[in-house]
Amino acid sequence: MVSVETPSRVKVDWVEMRKVMRGPLPDIAARLSRFLGPKSHDALVIFTRECTGRPRKVAGNRDIVDRVTIDELDEIKRSITPGGARDDVLLLAGSQRRIWAVRDPDDTLLVVVPRASSSDPDLADLAAVFGIVATAIQHQVAQASPDYLAESRAASSERARTIAELTEVHEATLSSMLQTLRSNDLDDRRARITASETASNALITLRSAGAEDRVHSEEAVTTAFAKLQGQLRPLLRHRDVVVDFVDPPADGRPLPGEVAHAARAMVRAIVLAFDAQTELTRLRVAWDCGGDNVLIEIRDAGPGTVDRNALMRQLSGRLQTLRGDIEVESIPGWGSRVELIIPLDPPAARPDEHLLNTLNPRELEVLGHLAVGKRNLAIAEELGISQSTIKFHVAGVLKKLGVANRGEAAAIGIRAGIVSGDAAT
């Protein structure tokens, strides 16, 4: 375990570091906190725009982490150059606090609130450790695993629902206030004008909350496609392949972050499958974003020897999670074509959807294994924990979901697209 309580250089325990990198992404802050040593700090926050569902990963004192705002984290990040770090007193969770902050070169931010008894840290050591963690986060997001997509979509849906409810309640309240203040029956004209302006400004701010959330959680379809082009070019540098990119319409509907990440991950997998053929001279990659879906077509002028079944197995986990469809054609001597259709909107709320939000990251992981029929022993071996611990988690899942047996829990997991990554690849 690495210590940040002393200024001297330390040797990293790579076995413990591996534990930080493994496991559900939402729980990575808690694993990093344990790695650094909880006695050295009161709270820890990882902030990354890559995770559109939950950009804040937190661990530690709830009185601190629950009050940390995106604006505060953005301000801290702006105060640090990429690759830099600082030990300073800054605004966090509504108060001026001493913090250790590291901004990874790829723009992921770590903020640690040290305990009063902690000595000066070696920020270089902290930055080196966090660099590994930040890379692991980016890798998980880029690969867009089924577990990540399910958790991100659930978080995005819950956040959007909460914002909508708050907007409706406060909009009604403020509108009523404005009607009252604008009434000709009231005296004190100056007071009414001042109060009216205050309420109007509050109403404008509130209505902008949804727009601000969309900026943080969506990608313009043209931006998403441009990122894809940048990711595909290095994959084909070793071959003389002509790639035709058909851009989506500039006014196409924006993509939710998890859909954009999944779409790019699946296209990369398809292109690699095409590239595995003995001959490949030309590829055509086209995106469209019409109505409720993003439409993707990848076509080649190759020998038509793509392994359709293997490709379907590789993509099925992500497609199931996002309720997408796929069509694969591979005709020897003529070439291959893959078409993906991915809905942009999450499914309509189900009666059991709110129950899934009560599960912690480990319980969601266990539910994913139940959904593919694994028994306790197999789950324990996969997660590296004891069978008794698995029994405890299974009992917690059944209780929180309000079901009587593993089969009923598995059905809920399957409907929600929460399945074990091993079974989906």
Q: What is the mean pLDDT of residues 33-45?
A: 88
Q: Taking a C-beta distance cutoff of 8 angstroms, is the pair 410, 370 a contact?
A: yes
Q: How many residues can be counted in the chain?
A: 425
Q: Is the pLDDT of residue 114 over 50?
A: yes
Same domain membership, residue 54 and residue 156: no
Alpha-carbon gap, residue 212 to 282, rounded angstroms: 41
Q: Which of 190-199, 229-238, 361-370 has the lowest mean pLDDT?
A: 190-199
Q: Is the pLDDT of residue 6 over 50?
A: no
Give the end of a domain, one of 108, 143, 178.
143
7: in domain: no
Dump the DSSP string for 259-297.
HHHHHHHHHHHHHHHHHTSS---EEEEEEE--TTEEEEE
Same domain membership, residue 135 and residue 21: yes
Q: What is the mean pLDDT of residues 204-222?
A: 63
Q: Are strands 41-47 and 109-114 parallel, antiparallel or unpaired?
A: antiparallel
pLDDT grade for 77, boundaries at 50, 70 and 90: very high
342: closest CA among 302, 375, 294?
294
Same domain membership, residue 374 and residue 264: no
Give the end of a domain, one of 174, 190, 217.
217
Give the end of a domain, one of 289, 319, 343.
343
Number of domains in the chain: 4
Query: In this structure, what CATH number is given to the domain that contains residue 309?
Result: 3.30.565.10
pLDDT grade for 109, boundaries at 50, 70 and 90: very high
Q: What is the mean pLDDT of residues 345-358?
A: 66
Three-class SS state of 64: helix
Same domain membership, residue 334 and residue 261: yes
Q: Which domain holds residue 271?
A: 220-343
Same domain membership, residue 96 and residue 184: no
Alpha-carbon gap, residue 93 to 210, rounded angstroms: 22
- Express each pLDDT in 274-303 by its tens digit: 888 888 888 999 998 867 888 999 999 888
Higher pLDDT, 395 or 153: 395
How confident is the prediction for the chain on average, in pLDDT? 79
